[in-house]
Amino acid sequence: MPAVQKYDVFQAIADPSRRKILQLLANQELPITGISQHFPMSRTAVSKHLRILSASNLVSVEKVGREKRYKLQPDALLELKHWLSFYEQFWDNKLSMLKHLVENDETGELKIVENNESFDKPNKETI
C-alpha cells in the first residue's frame, strides 16, 4: 500500500481552486457534490484537490450516511499566519514612512521620482 503524501499548508493554498474550496468551506461543511458545482472541472479533479487539503490538515472529512462531508480546519492556517506576520514589519514600516511623508509634505507638490516630473496638488477650485 503506497504511503499517503503529506502536503504542507503552503503547497495546499498554492492552487487557486483549493483556495476557493477553502472559502466555500469557511461557513459550512459540504459534500463533494456541493463543492464541485462551483467549479468547471470534474468531480474527480475536485476530489484530488480535497485530498491535498485533507493531507495538509486544512479540511476534515466526516462520513454522514453514504456521503463524505468536508469541513474547514482553520487552525492549520496558523502556520501561514505566523509566517506572514514576520513580513508585516516590512509593510508596516513602508506604510509608516508613507504616512510621515504625506503628513509632513509642505511643498504642495506630488513628485514622481522615476520621471523627474512633478504635478501640483489639486486644490478646492480645480476639483
Contact 95, 103 (CB under 8 A): no
Q: Residue 111 pLDDT > 60, yes or no?
A: no
Contact 80, 8 (CB under 8 A): no
Residue 106 banded pLDDT, cuts 50, 70, 90: low
pTM of the model: 0.68
H or E element in which residue 71 lies = strand 67-72
Which class for 6: exposed (0-12), middle (13-18), buried (19 or more C-beta within 10 A)?
Answer: exposed
Give the pLDDT mean for 68-77.
95
**Grid cell at residue 97:** 514612512
Residue 91 banded pLDDT, cuts 50, 70, 90: confident
Look at residue 98 in the predicted model and tell me its pLDDT: 78
Give the pLDDT mean for 9-36.
95
- Taking phi first (over 0 means left), then psi (-120 to 50 degrees means alpha), and beta for anything else, what does residue 82 get? alpha
Q: Residue 100 pLDDT > 50, yes or no?
A: yes
Residue 126 banded pLDDT, cuts 50, 70, 90: very low
DSSP string of 75-101, one letter each residue: GGGHHHHHHHHHHHHHHHHHHHHHHHH
**Grid cell at residue 84:** 506572514
